[in-house]
Structure 1
Amino acid sequence: MMNNLAIYRTKLRYTYTAFVRTMHHNLFLIIGFYGLLLTLIACILTPWLASNIDQLYPLKRFLMPAWFEQGDINHILGIDNTGKDIFKRLLWALQTSLAITLLITLYVILIGTVMSLWTVFCRPAAHIVLLSIQTITAIPPLLMMMILSLFSGNTLNNLMMVVGVSLLPRFIHNLYNMVNNELKKTYIIALRLDGLSIMNIMRYSVFPNILANFVSECIAIFTTCLLALTTLTFLNFGIESDYNELGVMMREMIAIMPINQWAFIAPGLAILCVILLLNFFDYGLQQARSYRD
């Protein structure tokens, strides 16, 4: 057991060293990785950076951003119509949106992986699952959310369920195709003829070869989930009025757009930057894989 543990540690150290060496030779990976790292640090430090978010500045309402002549350096994006600091609201909204998106994405990956593998190894179930996927995909998330809101309330849990269910068919379908196409390759057939068990084939041959595409699919699910979540919350679905989230913040900042356009633009830019960083990271990984191949 100690020998196996030492082997795993060596492999992990080698993989980390290879990733660091590859990353620092790829501009897209550098921008994506360090940008996402800074975003993560900002989200972790939000309780300290914006600890007094509920503090009101009634005498500074409608304050312009700091780079305007009427602005204040202590309030970078200014003050909204309720007297709250917009930059502090943005930090909390970004943390909330990313946390909800990450939670939905993890559920989709976990459930989708189990269902995809079940579909691959249980052929009779494949037709039922694929037919169900086509049916669910035909229902727009907005319509699904409207129906759920009508019958079971406009809650965050319903919103997360709708976004997750709308993304799950795509993930199951794509992962099913990845695994199924890999299992049909000649070298896999040769391994099965040699008597290697299907579990060992999946562990040592299939999963390593589809890992890059699997990561790309997870990134695509996360970005799509973030866009769907903020779009639905912007339309006032699933979030209470006092909930701080990027879509909610954009909707509330419409009231002060004629005075301070940056109050509305900043949450949108935050969403755009996160998606761009994820796409840069994904593109860098694909480039590194193509160079290695």
Structure 2
Amino acid sequence: MVNSNRPESYWGGMGKRLKRNKTAMAGVVILIVFTLGSLLAPVIAPHPVEQMNFNSRLSAPSLTHLLGTDDFGRDIFSRLLHGGRISLLMGLITVVLSTLIGVTLGIIAGYYRRVDLFIMQGMDILMSLPALLLAIAVIAVLGPGLTNAMIAVVIAVIPSYVRVVRSAVLSIREKEYIEAVRALGIRDWQILLKHVLPNILSPIIVLSTIQFGVSILAAAALSFLGLGAQPPMPEWGAMVFVGKAFLSQAWWMSIFPGLAIMLVVLGFNLLGDGLRDAFDPKTR
């Protein structure tokens, strides 16, 4: 006979709490819509992304062009869909790299006292500048471009991971079970992978979700400043940059890409807040 009263697992309970959070689910819906739209862009885009038609230059939103056209007669809606692929991919690559590097440094700083001061002094130097200014400084050295913009955002984001992970590791480093496995002669890398990392996953997941939106916003800001993706690439920040010159006569060129950035960042923030509440032991 199957026991229906088995205690609920930690992850199962977290998932249920997340599903009950309406604002988090709203964020999930926003992200699903934009992700599907971006992935299916080659299929659902009504016009080729680089197709020019000077006869319909700066046309207002209509049934033919749902979000209007730009200064070259290109369909804004089609470019928005394809631009989502670039912006979301940039965010994904940035978060993956910054997570790998930041979590590794944070674990090392939190577990090994001898290198803690050295690592955290380096992070303090990076955090002495606002993230956007730090990214601009990096691009000033590397030069403008999409790849360099991602590198700049990664460098700017890493300190936040190091601080969060280090703090989490410090809180469990002296726990009795860690002392017990250390006394058994188990190697440090095994302790870190099997006993430390699994217990700090929740703050990493929450931070990565929020930083996904932050990374997209930062990359878009760099492109808006002419330091990231360059026209005619249909990246959202670059589209806002091009459209600002036509705000008085073709507001849709900047407004719709700007709305896309805002909604995606909002979606990640709502989901991140929901994950934080779902992971919070006080809600269990």
TM > 0.5 fold call:
yes
Tell me how far apart the structure 2 counterparts of residues 141 and 288 of structure 1 sit (CA, whole Å). Answer: 28
Aligned: 1:41 with 2:72: no
**Cα shift at 1:48:** 1.6
Aligned residue number for residue 84 of structure 2: 94
Aligned residue number for residue 69 of structure 1: none
Question: Deviation digits for residues 18-73 of structure 1, max 9, x if unmatched?
Answer: 666444432123212232222221111012222611222221112111xxxxxx21
TM-score by length of 1: 0.81
Tell me how far apart the structure 2 counterparts of residues 170 and 288 of structure 1 sit (CA, whole Å). Answer: 21
Residues 30 and 95 (structure 1 numbering): CA distance in 2 closer, same or farther, change over 3 Å? same
Residues 146 and 32 (structure 1 numbering): CA distance in 2 closer, same or farther, change over 3 Å? closer
Aligned residue number for residue 220 of structure 1: 210
Contact kept? 1:141, 1:162, Cα under 8 Å: no
SS in 2 for 1:74: coil
Aligned residue number for residue 11 of structure 1: none
Aligned residue number for residue 117 of structure 1: 107
Aligned residue number for residue 10 of structure 1: none
**Cα shift at 1:192:** 4.4
Residues 222 and 200 (structure 1 numbering): CA distance in 2 closer, same or farther, change over 3 Å? same
Structure 2 unaligned runs (5+)? 1-8
Aligned residue number for residue 56 of structure 1: 52
Tell me how far apart the structure 2 counterparts of residues 172 and 255 of structure 1 sit (CA, whole Å). Answer: 40
Aligned residue number for residue 77 of structure 1: 67
Aligned residue number for residue 25 of structure 2: 30
Aligned: 1:130 with 2:125: no
Aligned: 1:177 with 2:167: yes
Q: How does 1:137-286 map to 2 (within 5 A)?
A: 137-140=127-130, 143-144=133-134, 152-185=142-175, 187-188=176-177, 191-192=180-181, 195=184, 197=186, 202=192, 206-286=196-276
SS in 2 for 1:55: coil
**Cα shift at 1:86:** 0.9
Structure 1 unaligned runs (5+)? 1-13, 66-71
Q: How many pairs does the alignment contain?
A: 273
Question: Deviation digits for residues 199-248 of structure 1, max 9, x if unmatched?
Answer: 66655654444322111111232222122111111010033332221111
Tell me how far apart the structure 2 counterparts of residues 243 and 195 of structure 1 sit (CA, whole Å). Answer: 57
Residues 152 and 284 (structure 1 numbering): CA distance in 2 closer, same or farther, change over 3 Å? closer
Contact kept? 1:191, 1:201, Cα under 8 Å: no
TM-score by length of 2: 0.84
**Cα shift at 1:188:** 3.6
Tell me how far apart the structure 2 counterparts of residues 193 and 125 of structure 1 sit (CA, whole Å). Answer: 19
Tell me how far apart the structure 2 counterparts of residues 238 and 280 of structure 1 sit (CA, whole Å). Answer: 26
Q: How large is the RMSD of aligned CA atoms in angstroms?
A: 2.8
Deviates more, 1:98-107 or 1:237-246: 237-246
- Identity percentage over the alignment? 25
Tell me how far apart the structure 1 counterparts of residues 130 and 279 of structure 2 sit (CA, whole Å). Answer: 35
Residues 33 and 151 (structure 1 numbering): CA distance in 2 closer, same or farther, change over 3 Å? closer
Contact kept? 1:145, 1:158, Cα under 8 Å: no
